[in-house]
Amino acid sequence: MRRRTIVIPIIAVVAVGALAGAGAIAWAANSGRPAEQRSVATAEATPTPTPTLDPFPRRPLTSETRYVALGDSFAAGMGGGDEQGRCVMSDNSYPHEFATAAGIDLVADAACSGATTSDLLKHQLSALDDDTDLVTVSIGGNDLGVAEIASDCAAGKSVPCRTELTSALSLLNVLPDRLDLLYAAIAKAAPHARIVVTGYATLYEVTDPAAKDFGTATAINVATIGLNQVIRQAVDKQRANGVPITFVNVDFDGHGIGSAHPWINTSGPTAFHPTAAGYREYARELQRLLGVAG
């Protein structure tokens, strides 16, 4: 619990304060995104110790590897183009891109846009079984209402933006327990699988302190960093308990909103979700993590 209470005040001060006016923007101007990350990292307590034997085994992926994808819109591929169905799924999603690059068998893509941790527990675990070799999961953002926050804050709706940020910061207190339950359930449903949890890429390229939306962009980025930290800590806890699980961060540095070539959709119903290029970067991170050439 001590680690959670350290994280949340920092995110609260920065994220809500960045919407309050010049003082927070001045803080952001002196910090920038790399410094934000350092500030959050500095506040972390000593990491949860891991077992002497790494529970996440290094073994090659083959055409016989049975892979299942779980999660929300970031796993479903919303924003990747040619989305279909109730779950707004795209063949340009990172699970499909990764499975093709790695030459493995994507036996089930159970991801669904809008899914929360509760939805995943209720509707997606049935895709797993004793024969599952690899699981990827992107989840947690909808528990905090991240999509609504980004939309309202970017649209300049200051009151809803502040309200939603405050609510999200409060929910960061309960998200670790939800993630603990979820990751344990995935490990139980797929007892022979390695589990890879993906983080959420930061949305904005924060470079110009004089920009009109600099404070809002900084707030959203720092909130995302806080969410990723909570997810990573929950993964570390499970790994310390012997679960073969790991976290992979996805960096859109140089390709956020405001860059020359953003990997984030900036308008329409898929706004604030990765483009097809963004999902390819997710797939590349998985390739690097799991030793797949490409």
Return the residue matching tokens 């927070």. Answer: 24
Strands (E), 152-199: 194-198
Residue 220 exposed, middle or buried by CB count within 10 Å (0-12, 13-18, 19+): buried
Q: What share of the chain is helix, strand, coil (3-state, %, to 5)?
A: 50, 10, 40
Tell me if 276 sits within 8 A of 45, measured CB to CB. no
Active-site choice (31, 73, 90, 113)? 73
Q: CA 264 to CA 287: how far, in whole Å?
A: 21
Alpha-carbon Rg for the chain in angstroms: 18
Q: CA 218 to CA 25: how far, in whole Å?
A: 8
**What length does the chain have?**
294
Judge whether 31 counts as a catalytic residue.
no
Strands (E), the chain: 66-71, 105-109, 134-138, 194-198, 245-248
Tell me if 105 sits within 8 A of 131, measured CB to CB. no
Active-site choice (96, 113, 255, 273)? 273
Judge whether 273 counts as a catalytic residue.
yes
List, in order, residues 6 or more apart from 163 with CB less than 8 Å away: none
Q: CA 260 to CA 119: how far, in whole Å?
A: 36
Which token pair is 267?
A: 């308008």
Q: CA 98 to CA 106: how far, in whole Å?
A: 9
Catalytic site positions: 73, 273
